[in-house]
Amino acid sequence: MTNQPLEESSLALPRRRYQQPELRVVAFKMAGQEYVVDVAQVQEIIRPTALLRVAGMPEQVEGLVKRRGRIVPIVDLRKRLHLPVGEPTPESCILISPLSIGPVGFLVDSASELMWVKTNTFEVPSSLLARADQGYVQGVAHLGERVLVMLDLEHLLSPTEQHLLVMGEERLDG
Q: What is the pLDDT of residues 71-117, one digit of tens each?
A: 899 999 999 988 998 888 899 999 999 998 889 999 999 998 999 99
- Interval 25-53: pLDDT, tens: 999 999 999 999 999 999 999 998 888 88
Please give the backbone phi and psi of residue 165, each rounded to the nearest 5 degrees, phi first. Answer: -65, -45
pLDDT at 11: 37
Highest mean pLDDT among 65-79, 112-126, 132-146: 65-79
pLDDT classification of 171: cutoffs 50, 70, 90: low
For the chain, list the domains and their CATH numbers.
17-173 (2.40.50.180)
Alpha carbons 161 and 122: distance in angstroms, whole number? 28
Could you tell me the pTM of the whole model?
Answer: 0.81
- Closest to 151 in 3D by CA, of 11, 29, 60: 29
- Residues near 90 by Cβ (< 8 Å), separated by ≥ 6? none
pLDDT surpasses 50 at 13: no
pLDDT at 7: 44
Long-range pairs of 135-143 with CB within 8 A, sequence gap ≥ 24: 138/5, 138/16, 139/5, 139/15, 139/16, 141/36, 141/117, 143/117
Please give the backbone phi and psi of residue 158, each rounded to the nearest 5 degrees, phi first. Answer: -70, 160
Instruction: Return the DSSP state at 15.
Output: B
* 115 touches 98 (CB < 8 A): no
